[in-house]
Chains A and B, each alone.
Chain A
Amino acid sequence: MRTLLVLIQKEFLQIRRNAFLPRLIVAFPIMIMLVMPWITAMDVRHVGVAVVDNDHSGVSRRIISHIGATDWFTLHGMAADYETALRQLERGQVDVIVEIPEHFERDMVRAEPKPISISANSVNATKGSLGMQYVLQTVAKTLKELQAERGLVAGASELTVVQNRYNPSLNYRHYMIPALMIMLMVLICGFLPTLNIVGEKETGTIEQINVTPLSKLTFSLGKLVPYWLIGLFMLTVAMLIARAVYGLWPVGAPGVIYLAAMLFILVMSGLGVTVANMSDTMQQAMFVMFFFVMIFMLMSGLMTPIESMPRWAQTITLFLPPRYFIEVMRAVYLKGTAFTELWRCFAALGLFALLFNLLSVVTYKKQA
């Protein structure tokens, strides 16, 4: 036990003496949390809208003014007809065309209007479909208001009630911030222990350790514990920034997040130590780590929902530890899900932590 403390103290002394690491540990979470949420945000603003108003009624004017009132849209004025608007769309000046049919107001009262048509340029699929959604919601809201004012019965036009639960403003940032925290931990807690151990191999200091009676377990713990503490520190910094800057704080218990993070960091550093044990050079270790990190980033649901991946890919994600951490983070952050409902994720994380850390002890060879 005293040996372990001496080893941990040694790691922290070395980190402190390093010209680069202390800055990285403090600056990295701050930078990721301040810059990345604005960049990775996929919510679409300033969708260019052209309106073809064939009705020229109170209702159509009201729809247009509502579209113009939000900063989701930039109203590119009125087009004389659909053809003109379509040319604007082709030239990329507008993204969505709203065409209000003739006699829309009159027919609306009679409860048999021709539908309003909404066309979107979907070359940029995200912008197209999201822009379309926004316009649809805005128009639907306007019509609903009108019906209420004029005492019309619902059903005058088929209206869908859209409700975004848990992330009411459909704020993509709120969806991405927990994911960014995970990226932070994947990078730092995966790469730093790897670099550290391969570094000791390259300078030859590990040989001096190998010729001592130090047990493999103590050695591995001596490498894991410092990065475990650093990881939790960075998570804390990231969470505080998310609260101060974006007003985002877990709806559920922060303790659940910490518990999951404690397991997840162990998974990542266990993997890092294993890779380092099996590599002789820095380059070799880095490439192997990149291989894993790429898969983790792209496949575990950080960017794209797992549910929309092909079935075979979904099966693969079951073997990716970040997947479970992401599930916990998003559930606790946005929905406030309790620990008891997430026990499967915790069990999976615990299993991976055990597996990778056993591997890290087994692959450490004191005698070759």
Chain B
Amino acid sequence: MKETAISIRELTKRFGDFTAVDRISFDVYKGEIFGFLGANGAGKTTAMRMLCGLSFPTSGSGTVAGFDVMREGEMIKRHIGYMSQRFSLYDDLTVMENIRLFAGIYNLTPYRTRRRAVELLSRLNFLGERHTLVGALPLGWKQKLAFSIATLHSPEIVFLDEPTGGVDPITRRQFWELIYEEANRGTTVFVTTHYMDEAEYCARVSIMVDGEVRALDTPAALKRQFATDSMDGVFRTIARGAKRAE
């Protein structure tokens, strides 16, 4: 029996009479890369925000990193990292100042902050840019930096909301190498994406349509099930019936 990092049952979020997320249930195992797919407006971001303790579920139950999603949002936040689809580091602070800020917020000791900073900057080949304002960096660099800062405090789970949106293929490739490295260290990665080639990199993927999880399995099993040779085919078959559009 594999250990779970995330385990949710019947999780639901309603805004007025609109059900954004409709009774979703799944488990994410420790150390796996879990792809969270879905068309625009399917409810991915809302679901992810509930898991991160940014949004209260309307009903359902579940745990993230062992803490209750209904009641222990602040405890969950100690054990996760989050990178939103909107770039959200401070543009008017330098690379190093951003690192120091988030290290301070997560209460890393000054010694550990320095060590982690050197570690992640050298991994990104960023040491020369540490005093550059983040706003002056190209988008691909910013995204890699944002990912590194989301994992600065060595969280158990890292949530990535469309981390490679608008980034060129080479940078996307490098970004996935970072994700793999992080997963190899035992971190659970929960990632949403619109790129089907990226879905192939995940250990398992779920596909959301109209607020519900319609499929969940390894990419290979899904392709067999839907008798197609690509994740693209799988996604098209499942998402065809979507009623919601953005």
Which residues of A are in contact with B by a Cβ distance under 8 Å? Answer: 2-3, 5-7, 10, 13-14, 17-18, 203-205, 207-214, 366-368
Contact = CB atoms under 8 A, between A and B. Distances in A.
A204 B86 CA distance: 7
Nearest to A10: B101
A267 B130 CA distance: 39
- A interface, by DSSP: helix, strand, loop or mixed? helix
A208 B91 CA distance: 13
B93 A367 contact: no
Nearest to B149: A208
Contact of A207 (B88, B104, B106): B88
Given A10-B101, A208-B89, A212-B102, A3 B54 contact: no
Interface of B: 52-56, 73-75, 77-78, 80, 82, 84, 86-93, 97, 100-107, 133
A211 B155 CA distance: 12
A366 B82 CA distance: 14
12 contacts: A7-B104, A10-B90, A13-B97, A17-B93, A203-B88, A207-B84, A208-B84, A209-B105, A211-B52, A211-B77, A366-B54, A367-B56
B77 A212 contact: yes
Contact of B54 (A203, A210, A213): A210
A3 B104 contact: yes
A208 B52 CA distance: 11
A14 B92 contact: yes
A207 B54 contact: yes
Contacts of B77: 211-213
Given A2-B107, A213-B106, A10 B93 contact: yes
B53 A368 contact: no
Nearest to A209: B105
Nearest to A204: B86
Contacts of A211: 52-54, 77, 80, 82
Contacts of A7: 101, 104-105
Given A204-B88, A207-B54, A6 B101 contact: yes
Given A205-B88, A211-B52, A211-B53, A14 B104 contact: no
Nearest to A4: B104
Given A6-B100, A208-B89, A213-B74, A368 B55 contact: yes
A62 B133 CA distance: 76
B90 A14 contact: yes
A210 B75 CA distance: 13
Q: Which 3 A-B pairs have the closest CB atoms?
A: A6-B104, A208-B88, A204-B86
Contacts of A368: 54-56
